[in-house]
Structure 1
Amino acid sequence: MTKPGTAGDEYDVVISGAGLAGSAAAILLARRGVRVALLERRSDPAAYKVLCTHSLTANAHPVLDELGLLPALEKAGAVRNEARWYTRWGWIEPRAAPTGPELPHAYNIRRSVLDPLIRSRAAETPGVDLLLGHQVTGLLREDGHRGRTAGVRASTSGGEREIRARLVVGADGKDSPVAKFAGLPTRTYENGRFGYLAHFRDLPLRGGIGQTWFLEPDMAYAFPNDDGVTVLAVLPDKARLPAFREDLEGSFLDFVRALPEAPPVDAAERVSKIIGTIDYPLLSREPTAPGLALVGDAALTGDPLWGVGCGWALQSARWLAEEVAPAAAGRGDLDRSLLRYARVHRRRLRPHQYLAADFAKGRPFNPVERLVFSAAARDEAVARHMYLFASRLIGPLRFLSPAALARAAVVDIRHRGAAAPTVPTTR
C-alpha cells in the first residue's frame, strides 16, 4: 500500500526506485513472505521513465506472467514485438517454422503506461509499502563507515528519515545513488553512437511490425506501441554529431527519410519532442555487497539500440527474489544468498554485455557478424536463431556455437556469387 511512513521503521528489504526493476522485485519478494519498503524519489504515482526504447524483449515474458501483468498489458493495448531487420544483404524477417510453435514474444508499450501499472501492482501487494517522495541520501552501516549495509537515510517532505533493513536494493538506474553511497566501482564502456527518438502517431510500418536498420555503423529502429504510437529512434555514429547539433529536427528527419523502405514520417503526426543523449556509455557494477544488491540498470546497462534494458530489469528482479527471499525474511544466510544472485547475474548477462560493448564502438560488422547476418537474410532457420538471440532467450555461446556458424557458412556458400543489394547511405 502507499503510505507516508514514520521515522524509525524496520523492514526485511528496502528498495530504492519504484520503476520496473524495483516494483517487480518488491512484488516477487513480498509474495515470498518478505516485508518490503519500496522507495520512490518522485511523489507522483504516475511518474515514468521518458528516455527508453519502450520495448520488453521476449526474455521478460515469463516474469510478466509471474507478475500477473499479461492480461493488463493486452488490455492497455501493448503490441506484440515481432521484428524485421535491414542489412546490406537485404531484410532479415524471422518467421515461425511451418510445423513449429509461434515465435516467442513480449510487448512494446510506452513507459507512461507501463510504469504506473507495475507500480500500482506493487502498492497493492500485501507486504509492500510504497513510499513516494523518498529520496535516498545515504546508507546506514553496521559498525561504522565500512560495515555492512543495514538500511538507508531518505529525505522526504516531512524531513529526514531512517529505514533499517536486512537488505538494501538499488533499483535506481544507471547513475545509481545507492551504488555510489556504497562505494561500488563502475566499469564503463564507451558508446560510439549517440541517439535521438520521438513518438509519432499514424506512422505505418511494413507488416505493422518493428523495424531495425543496421547501416554500419549507423542504426535506427521503429517500434509500434500502444494507442497507435510508434517510437522512432536514430543512433548515428558520433562523427555525425556536429550536423545534428546544428539542426536537430532537420537532421533527424533527413536521417529517417534516407532509410531503406523509410517510414513515411512526413505524413505522420509527431506527438512528442525529439529527445535523446549524446553520450550513453555501457556500465557494469558488481551486483552485490554485504547487505546490498543491485538490479536493473543499477547493476548493468546495455546499448539502447538492442532494447534489452526493460527485459533485464525484470529478469534481475526475479533472480534476486528467487535467491534471497528466505534469507531476507530471516530464514537463511543472506551473504550466501547474495553470492548466488551475483553468480546468476554475471553468468546470464555479462556475456551479452561483452558483445554489446564491442558493437557499441560504432564499427562495421566483423567477419563473424557478416557471416551470421548475411545468412539470416537468406535462410529462415538462421533468421529464427538470430531472433532468439535478439530476444535474449539464448546466450552468446549458443548463438555463436560451432553448429550455428557452420549452418551460416553453408548458407553463404550456396549464395556465393549472388549480387548483394545496394546499400543506401544515410550520410
Structure 2
Amino acid sequence: MTEPESTGDGYDVVISGASLAGSAAAILLARHGARVALLERRSDPEAYKVLCTHSLTANAHPVLDGLGLLPALEKAGAVRNEARWYTRWGWIEPKAAPAGPALPYGYNVRRSTLDPLIRARAGETPGVDLLLGHRVTGLLREAGRTVGVRVKAPAGEREIRARLVVGADGKDSAVAGLAGVPTRSHENGRFGYLAYFRNLPLHGGLGQTWFLEPDMAYAFPNDDGVTVLAVLPDKKRLPAFREDLEGSFLSFVRGLPEAPPVDSAERISKIIGAVDYPLLTRRPTAPGLALVGDAALTSDPLWGVGCGWALETAQWLAEAVGPAAAGRGDLDRSLAAYARTHRRRLRGHQALAADYATSRPFNPVERLIFAAAARDEATARHVHRFGSRLIGPGRFLNPGALARAAAVNAGHRRTAAGGGPGARR
C-alpha cells in the first residue's frame, strides 16, 4: 500500500503524548532522520504523571544510557534501585556473586523530576518539534490507514499529516480508541493507595517489597529524600479502606514485617490511588499507526514495570521503523517487525502478571522459587534478574532454575530436621 509523503507541515511522525514513551520515541526516531511532531495535551512543560511506582527497572538502563540521560539522572538525585522482598520464608536479598559483577540496576526517581527532564531533552533534539497544549481529537484516514491527526491547539483546530502516528498517551489512549484498536482487559483483584514521605528510613536504605499473599506493599526511596510508600490489598478489604482511608492505610503499614516508621516520618502528600486498575493489552500496530508504553500494554502496577517498558517499547519501535518512518523503507513491514518484538518480549510477562492479579496466593512453582530465593544467593540473583525484566518467563522458569530451587528447599528441610547439611549459599 502506498504510504503518504511527508506533509505540508514537514512531519514524518506525529506522536501523541510527551511523557516517557513518547519523548523517548521522538528522540530515537529523530536520530534516524525523521521529522517528529511531539504533541502533549498539557500546556505546562513541567507536567508529570502523579500515580506511578516511580521505578525504572534495570531493563531500562541501556535505553537511558542511549538517550544520554544517565548523568542527568544521577545529578538529579535518582536512587539506584537495589531492593529486598519479604516472603513467608523470609527476606529475599539479592547480592552480587563473590568476585562477580555488580547486580544490574535501574533508578527510583519521582516523575516530577523525570518527566520534565526527558521532555526537555526531546524538545532540544534536532528534528523534534515539541507542541504543548495539543490534544488529539481525531485521526486522518485514507484507504484504511492512518495518515495523520486532528488536534485542538492553543491557536485552534489543526490537522497534522504524517507517515506514522504513534500513540504514547497512556492506558486510556485516545489514539487507540479513535483507531478502534481492540482492548483486552484483565481484572485486577487488588486496589492501591500510595503516599509520599520525607525522613522515612528503610532497612539498609533499600527499596522494600512485601508479598503478603494476597496483599502487597512496597516502599521505594527516591530523589530529594522522598520515599514512595504504597499498599495494594485484596479488594475484599476495600470497604474498610473507604470508611477510613488514612487510618486503614497507616494501620496496614504499621502491620508490615520490619515496618517503615511512618509515625515518626513527615507525610508530604495526600493518600492517592486507584480502586480499579485493570491490566490492558492492545495490538501495538495498525496501518500507519503504532502504540508504545501503556497505550499498548498496561500491566499490574505492583511490579513497577511500566516506566521501564515505556522506554523499551520506544526503543523497539525506533529500531524497527526508524528508517522507514524517514522515508527509507517499507513502513508496513517495519511495523510488523515491531509488533513481533513487542509480542515476543512482553506477552509472557503480561500473562503471568494477569494471572497473579487475580489476587491469589503463590502457586506451587512460585512457592518453590521464592522459598529457595530466601535461602540461596544464586536463586535470589535469578529472581532479581526476572524482577528487573532482564530475563523473560521462559528463562526464569527454566528446568535448571527449578531443579536448583528444589535442591535448595530439600536441603533446608533436611537441615531443619537435623538430618543433613544446609543449602549451599
Give the TM-score normalised by the residue count of structure 1.
0.95
Alignment pair present for 1:78 and 2:59: no
Amino acid in the other structure paired with 1:112: S
Q: What is the DSSP-based 3-state SS (H/G/I as helix, E as strand, rest coil) of the residue aligned with 2:299? A: coil
The Cα offsets for residues 14-55 of structure 1, whole Å up to 9 and x where unpaired, read as 000000000000000101111000000000000000000000
Q: Once the 2 structures are TM-superposed, how far is the Cα of residue 158 of structure 1 from its aligned partner? A: 1.4
> In structure 1, which of residues 330, 355, 358 is the aligned counterpart of residue 327 of structure 2?
330
State how far apart, in whole Å, the 2-side matches of 1:92 and 1:66 are. 31
Contact 1:223 1:230 in 2 (8 A): yes
Q: 2:362 maps to what in 1?
A: 365
Structure 1 residues 253 and 417: alpha-carbon distance in aligned structure 2, compared to 1, 3 A threshold:
farther
Of 237, 248, 251, 1:240 maps to 237
The CA distance in 2 between the partners of 1:357 and 1:212, in whole Å, is 19
Matched to 1:134, the amino acid is H
CA change 1:198–1:418 in 2 (3 A) is: farther
How much does 1:419 deviate?
Answer: 6.4
The aligned amino acid for 2:341 is V
Counterpart contact for 1:212–1:219, Cα < 8 Å: yes
CA-to-partner distance for each residue in 1:149-204, whole Å, 9 max, x for gaps?
A: 00000001211110000000000000000000000000000100000000000000
Q: Which amino acid aligns with 2:114?
A: L
Tell me if the contact between 1:9 and 1:162 (Cα under 8 Å) persists in the aligned partners. no
Q: Secondary structure at the match of 2:12?
A: strand
Equivalent-residue separation in structure 2 for 1:196 and 1:242 (angstroms): 14
Counterpart pick for 1:274 among 271, 274, 279 = 271
Q: Deviations over 1:245-283 (max 9, x none)?
A: 000000000000000000000000001110000000000
Determine the structure 2 residue equivalent to 1:60: 60
2:48 aligns to what?
48
Q: Match of 1:137?
A: 137
CA distance in 2, matches of 1:418, 1:305: 34
Give the equivalent residue in structure 2 for 1:4: none
Secondary structure of 1:47's match? coil
Count matched residues: 411
Could you tell me how far 1:9 is from its partner in structure 2? 2.0
Residue in structure 2 matched with residue 90 of structure 1 by the alignment: 90
Q: Secondary structure at the match of 1:25?
A: helix
**After the TM superposition, which residues 136-175 of structure 1 pair with which residues of structure 2 at under 5 Å, given as runs?**
136-143=136-143, 147-175=144-172
Q: Which residue of 2 aligns with 1:382?
A: 379
Counterpart residue identity of residue 102, structure 1: A
Alignment-mate amino acid for residue 208 of structure 2: Q
- Correspondence 1:303 to 2:300: yes
How many Å separate the matches in 2 of 1:81 and 1:142?
A: 46
Partner residue, 1:287: 284
Give yes or no for contact 1:8–1:161 (8 Å, CA) kept in 2. no
- From 238, 261, 264, the equivalent of 1:264 is 261
Q: 2:250 aligns with which of 233, 249, 253?
A: 253
Q: Distance in 1 between matches of 2:414 and 2:271?
A: 43
TM-score, normalisation: structure 2: 0.96
Which residue is 2:406 aligned to? 409
The 5 Å alignment of 1:168-187 reads 168-187=165-184
- CA distances 1:343-382 after superposition (whole Å, capped 9, x unpaired): 0000001100100000000000000000000000000000
Q: Superposition RMSD on alpha carbons, in Å? A: 1.1
- 1:10 deviation in Å? 3.7
Map of 1:111-122 to 2, 5 A cutoff?
111-122=111-122
Residues 71 and 188 (structure 1), Cα distance of their counterparts in 2 relative to 1, 3 Å cut: same
Structure 1: gaps (5+ residues): 1-6, 421-427
Q: Unpaired runs of 5+ in structure 2? A: 1-6, 418-425
Percent identity for Structure 1 against Structure 2: 82
Name 2:314's counterpart in structure 1.
317
